[in-house]
Amino acid sequence: MNEHLFVTTSEGEHRLPFSPGLSIREILDATKLRVRSSCGGIGACGQCRVRIDQGEVTSPTTTEMNRLGPELIEQRFRLACQVRPIQGVRISMENPAPPSNWQAINDLDTLPQASVSAGERRPARHGYGVAVDLGTTQIRVSLLDLATGKRLAGRSGLNPQALFGADVLTRLLAASESAQRALEIGRLAVDAIGEALCDITSREDIALHSINHLMVVGNTAMLCLLAAKNHGLLLLPDHWMQSIDCLPQATAEWCKAWGLAAATPVELVPPLAGFVGSDLLAGVLATGLTTGPVGAMLIDFGTNSEMALWDGEVVWVTSAAGGPAFEGCGISCGMPAAPGAIYRAVMNGDNPAEFLFSVLGGGQAQGVCGSGLVDIIASLLRMGKLKKNGRLCPSIADRGVGLFQGEVPLALKGQDIDALQRAKAAIGAGVQCLLEQAGMRLDDLQRLCVCGAFGRYLDITNAQDIGLLPAIPAAAIELCGNTALAGCERLLLSDDVKTVLQPLQHKCRSANLSLVSEFEDLFVENLYLQPMRSK
């Protein structure tokens, strides 16, 4: 993302980084700025007109010539869905669409493409299918053509259940207050999925009734809360190693709320056991973890982080309640990885005491997401402003570290560093416990798949320096993005979910960290901001 698109609206100028090959519409859809559209981006409606004020763009397409005509083209008007910026481009938006709570996922192409074997493939189908990754902080949705298996579009947005708590445990406690409260929390997720479906189908000019299948993966707590079923069992330690039934009795009411036919199949992929959800199983499928080298590990970073380790015979799995710090929540200057978030920070070469920031979607920084927080903490260690125990130097301990001065001043405080330390300590202890269960050491790791939106932007060196990732060769580490969504797509296209999942489930063995006697010692050791050590 070396190039930027500059966009002028009534609110001022916005600076948006973009990847080569994307249309202006695709670039804008990943932000809060949107053009109007009612044709799915094929240029038929002509509503997404923008003016090219400066810079090099692709030549007018036949669709643009037919829709706009030579006169408007001469005046540098173009269709945002057809034109692609090349260099130094500035545009004006004259009639933007209303802002949306749902952003397009423009990095879908970086995810493992859903693929199934001939034996897994469902009989020929028509219409569209929807895959949903129901996360604690974010909900991600992708739309597929069921006939071809091709991804057509994706959306991401915040899970509104955060009203009842940023973490899993707080929401479970809220749901346990009454059956009515549990239904209310579940309904929030149902409504959010409906909003995402409306956004994606209206933008892509696809009728809701043409969606013929919907599949959901998620961590166990989110699936139980969605179905308003058995969520109370997760508060009982006796059930943390057991399979928990979170499959809904009926989904016709959901389909009605979503504008789908009442008989549309809606499948919730069941979790493995305890807090190890179907999102982890989907990630293992998407990355082919068990088809690669022995000593392959997957870490899906999130509010409820989950891990898997392949030792050649067994897939050891566990979950770690790291809290919402990886998602930028619970941090005074934090926010999720959304437009306006600082996702990358490097020391200024001209002034090593200052940072240079990269902001998602361009424009002014509004907060720091998890990957940016890792960069800042690693840099503070190198500057000598932060000690390995996580304490800021006395001269700045009271006021914190000023990051950005503007309409929204940003400062990193000691409590923010502490939150990330605890989250990364839970991960580090979980990694070491899984290795112990498998009779392996850190040096035995041959492959590490870093998953989730947090991992998408992670600087590997910085993550290793503070002990968030094992200190193995960088070439062995893959930043995989949202593999839970990619795995859900594979299951959506498969003939029978059980046929695909059962062989994997039979290989899985859960490790309950609460029963590991040395977990607390490992947790304390991993609180230090230093490279992860072998036991």
Flag whether pLDDT at 198 surpasses 50: yes
Residue 40, classified by CB atoms within 10 Å of its CB into exposed (0-12), middle (13-18) or buried (19+), is: middle
Average pLDDT over residues 506-519: 86
Place 326 in a pLDDT band, splitting at 50, 70 and 90.
Answer: confident
Out of 120-124, 322-326, 335-339, 520-524, least confident range? 120-124
Residue 241: which pLDDT band, with cuts at 50, 70 and 90? Answer: confident
- The reported pLDDT for the residue numbered 62 is 94
Give the mean pLDDT of 93-111.
75
Sheet containing strand 49-57, edge to edge, reads 12-18, 3-9, 85-92, 49-57, 77-79
> Mean pLDDT in the chain?
88
Q: Which of 291, 370, 273 is nearest to 329 (CA)?
A: 370
With cut-offs at 50, 70 and 90, classify the pLDDT of residue 178: very high
Mean pLDDT of 91-110: 78
What is the length of the chain? 535
Cα 385 versus chain centre, distance: 31
Q: Identify the residue with better confidence: 408 or 100.
A: 100
Which band of pLDDT confidence, cut at 50, 70 and 90, is reported for residue 120? low
DSSP letter at 259 equals T
Q: To which H or E segment does residue 480 belong?
A: strand 477-481
Q: Which of 180-189, 352-361, 401-410 has the lowest mean pLDDT?
A: 401-410
Q: Is the pLDDT of residue 193 over 90?
A: yes
Q: What percentage of residues in the chain have a pLDDT greater than 70?
A: 94
- Which of 113-122, 211-220, 392-401 shows the lowest per-residue confidence on average (mean pLDDT)? 113-122
Give the chain's domains with CATH numbers. 3-98 (3.10.20.30), 104-277 (3.30.420.480), 280-323+419-525 (3.30.420), 333-412 (no CATH)
CA angle centred on 310, ends 509 and 528, rounded to 5° = 90
**pLDDT at 116 > cutoff 50:** no
pLDDT higher than 60, residue 112 = no
In the DSSP assignment, the letter for residue 273 is B
User: What would the two tokens of residue 446 be?
Assistant: 């041959």
β-bridge pairing 477-481 and 305-310: unpaired
Give residue-wise pLDDT tens across range 451-496. Answer: 987 878 899 999 999 999 999 999 999 999 899 999 999 999 998 8
| Phi/psi of residue 143, nearest 5 degrees | -110, 130
pLDDT for res 400? 79
Residue 396: alpha-carbon gap to chain centroid:
33
| pLDDT-wise least confident of 67-76, 89-98, 143-152 | 89-98
Name which residue leads in pLDDT, 286 or 455: 286
Q: What is the DSSP string of 394-453?
A: HHHHTT-EEEE-SSS-EEE-HHHHHHHHHHHHHHHHHHHHHHHHHT--GGG--EEEEESH
Least confident of 75-79, 120-124, 328-332: 120-124
Confidence of residue 426 (pLDDT cuts 50, 70, 90): very high
Q: What does the pLDDT read at residue 412?
A: 86
- Highest mean pLDDT, choosing among 5-19, 54-68, 340-354: 54-68
Cα–Cα dist 214/280, whole Å: 19
pLDDT at 97 over 90: no
Q: Cα(413)–Cα(400) distance, rounded to whole angstroms? A: 4
Q: Specify the higher pLDDT residue, 501 or 12.
A: 501
Return the minimum-mean-pLDDT range out of 56-70, 403-417, 449-463: 403-417
Quickly state the pLDDT bin for 506 (edges 50, 70, 90). Answer: very high
Res 122 pLDDT > 90: no
The kind and range of the H/E element at 461 are helix 460-465
Residue 197 reports pLDDT greater than 60: yes
Residue 155 bridge partners (DSSP) = 104, 141
In this prediction, residue 107 carries a pLDDT of 62
3-class secondary-structure state, position 334: strand
- d(CA 474, CA 229) in angstroms, rounded, equals 42
Q: Give mean pLDDT, residues 67-85.
A: 94
The position carrying tokens 């240029």 is 43
- Indicate if the pLDDT at residue 189 is higher than 70: yes
